[in-house]
């Protein structure tokens, strides 16, 4: 043994969100660091901001998500 300690790799920062592009469930899952299935469950439980229907797809406005995240920080 050389006495070297293993240091965990830092968690990568999420990519900056373009405010002009709506977020898919996969985008939102990556932003919140949860699974896509968790996003679907949270949506049906009413735990997320209202989604926008685009045809048969569900999307979120990044500004709504950031506002929602900040409101959660204030409650904590």
Instruction: Estimate the share of the chain in helix, then strand, then coil, as percent rounded to the nearest 5.
Output: 40, 10, 50
Query: Are 19 and 64 a contacting pair, CB within 8 Å?
Result: no
**Is the residue at 9 inside a domain?**
no
**Is the residue at 14 inside a domain?**
no
The answer for residues whose C-beta is within 8 angstroms of residue 39's C-beta and 6 or more apart is 25, 28, 29, 32, 48
Would you state the pLDDT for residue 69?
A: 95
Q: What is the mean pLDDT of residues 65-70?
A: 95
**Is the residue at 70 inside a domain?**
yes
pLDDT exceeding 70 applies to what percent of the chain?
80
Would you state the pLDDT for residue 76?
A: 64
pLDDT per residue as tens digits for the range 24-45: 999 999 999 999 999 999 999 9
**Is the residue at 18 inside a domain?**
no
Q: How many domains does the chain have?
A: 1
Instruction: Quote the pTM value.
Output: 0.72
**Is the residue at 1 inside a domain?**
no
**Is the residue at 42 inside a domain?**
yes
Would you state the pLDDT for residue 8?
A: 74
Tell me which residue range forms the domain holding 42: 25-75
């Amino acid at each position: 043994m050389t006495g070297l300690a293993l240091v965990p790799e830092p968690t990568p920062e999420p990519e900056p969100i373009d405010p002009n592009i709506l977020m898919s469930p996969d985008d939102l899952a990556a932003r919140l660091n949860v699974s896509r299935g968790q996003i679907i469950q949270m949506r049906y439980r009413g735990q997320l901001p209202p989604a926008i229907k685009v045809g048969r797809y569900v999307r979120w406005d990044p500004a709504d998500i950031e506002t929602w995240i900040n409101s959660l920080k204030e409650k904590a």
